[in-house]
Amino acid sequence: MTTRTPLMAGNWKMNLNHLEAIAHVQKLAFALADKDYDAVEVAVLAPFTDLRSVQTLVDGDKLKIKYGAQDISAHDGGAYTGEISGPMLAKLKCTYVAVGHSERRQYHAETDEIVNAKVKAAYKHGLTPILCVGEELDVREAGNHVEHTLAQVEGGLKDLAAEQAESVVIAYEPVWAIGTGKVCGADDAQEVCAAIRGKLAELYSQELADRVRIQYGGSVKSGNVAEIMAKPDIDGALVGGASLDSDEFVKIVRFRDQ
């Protein structure tokens, strides 16, 4: 049986300046112990302006917390005002980068083609993409949520070789459950996460599908994380709001105790 180490990632979104980021990571580092890191991989996805500060802290104190960015340019460099490239993130020793978050798709018109180009840019520079997928409320109400989400998975991974796809992290985030306090039921989340694993098996192989970590995201808190993590195809959480509270995020990391 394949064992997948759960990945608990805090997506800070556009919160915490670089000083607040240092204080926040210090609190996490103080609270988390080796036994936590043995059981769970812990990561923070910080705003670009925080990454150097987070890197300095993590390197300096040899912290086991991983970190990454919330977006990446599809381009390696050049005249793309405001963008941040893969080489820049790699230089900051980022491990992860979120790609195709619904807020990027919604507010920045990111299509599956753009998301696919960003996933490829991440791999090109040694970063692990967290490919975010999930349906809007009207799609769920119409009963098309599985089909919609699987199309995003396929679009995001288009033309990727198995050697790359085997390390991808997929975050299933139903848009209607993000920041709303409305959690997708654990059974409903499991239904889609199982379908995503099935899609990976179809695109690549069952062996590869069994190795890929699939997270759930959308109003995850210490009070609901255990139920979500009990589902066989859910291997972690992408946590927004609750990751800004260090005590709450530590409880989420320790989901087995909740």
170 vs 238, beta carbon nearer ligand G3H: 238
195 vs 220, beta carbon nearer ligand G3H: 220
Told to check if 238 binds ligand G3H by CB under 6 A, we report: yes
Told to check if 178 binds ligand G3H by CB under 6 A, we report: yes
Residue 167 marked ligand-binding: no
Contacting ligand G3H (CB under 6 A), which of 50, 110, 173, 233?
Answer: 173
Catalytic residue among 103, 135, 173, 248: 173
Query: Active-site residue 101, yes or no?
Result: yes
**x-or-dash pattern for ligand G3H, window 239-258, by CB under 6 A?**
xxxx----------------
Q: What is the CA radius of gyration of the chain?
A: 17
Catalytic residue among 101, 103, 110, 248: 101
Backbone angles phi, psi at 3, to 5 degrees: -105, 125
Query: Active-site residue 110, yes or no?
Result: no
Residue 11 marked ligand-binding: yes
Residue 103 beta carbon to ligand G3H: minimum distance, rounded to whole angstroms: 7
Q: Report the residue number whose CB is nearest to ligand G3H.
A: 240
Residue 176 marked ligand-binding: no
Residue 10 beta carbon to ligand G3H: minimum distance, rounded to whole angstroms: 8
Residue 216 β-bridge partners = 172, 237
Query: Is the Cβ–Cβ distance between 32 and 253 less than 8 Å?
Result: yes
Pick the stretch among 15-23, 151-159, 216-224, 247-255 that binds ligand G3H (CB under 6 A): 216-224
Residue 206 beta carbon to ligand G3H: minimum distance, rounded to whole angstroms: 28
Residue 12 marked ligand-binding: yes
Residue 15 marked ligand-binding: no
Binding site residues, ligand G3H, CB under 6 A = 11, 101, 173, 178-179, 217-220, 238-242
The annotated binding site for substrate is made up of 11-13, 179, 219, 240-241
Point out the residues that are catalytic.
101, 173
